[in-house]
Structure 1
Amino acid sequence: MKILYFAWLRERLNRASDEVSPPDGVVTLDDLVTWLRGRDEALDLAMTNPAIFKLSIDARIAPGHTPIAGAREIAILPPMTGG
């Protein structure tokens, strides 16, 4: 599964994506975010308030309780800032 990072999150992590294989216990988007944060200190620090991020599965915005089975691509979208 490919994890995509956008905007300031991508810049903070210094990468645009990761390829991951979550364990069997990771079944929803919320589970995935928790698992990703637990294995990556930079991501954990960047996502101290995960509720402000939008998540998408295969290019469709989805709530955190959405199952990830069969997903090819998950995107993590931080809140937009303007100027």
Structure 2
Amino acid sequence: MYWTGVLGSFAVEIGAALKICTEIGGKTPPMYKEPFYLGVRIALALAAAGPLAAFLSNGSGLTAFYLGASAPLVLDQLAKGIRPSE
């Protein structure tokens, strides 16, 4: 389940890279030339998306893939904390 979650995280990043690449005429997006960005993105997949999928997937490969793909959103919401209703 761990590696399925990592794969889901990378799949989302590949889709995002393709979208940006298409928008700028097929060139490499500038952020993908930055070692820091690539390192953080790989670390996110290995240290957050994989474990999240392994702990919460309930043994389903598809669920593990979805959890890995959604890991950045989950972490973003955790970082924001609970907001009072408006």
- TM-score by length of structure 2 reads 0.25
Q: Which has the larger radius of gyration?
A: 2
Structure having the higher strand fraction is 1
- TM-score by length of structure 1 reads 0.26
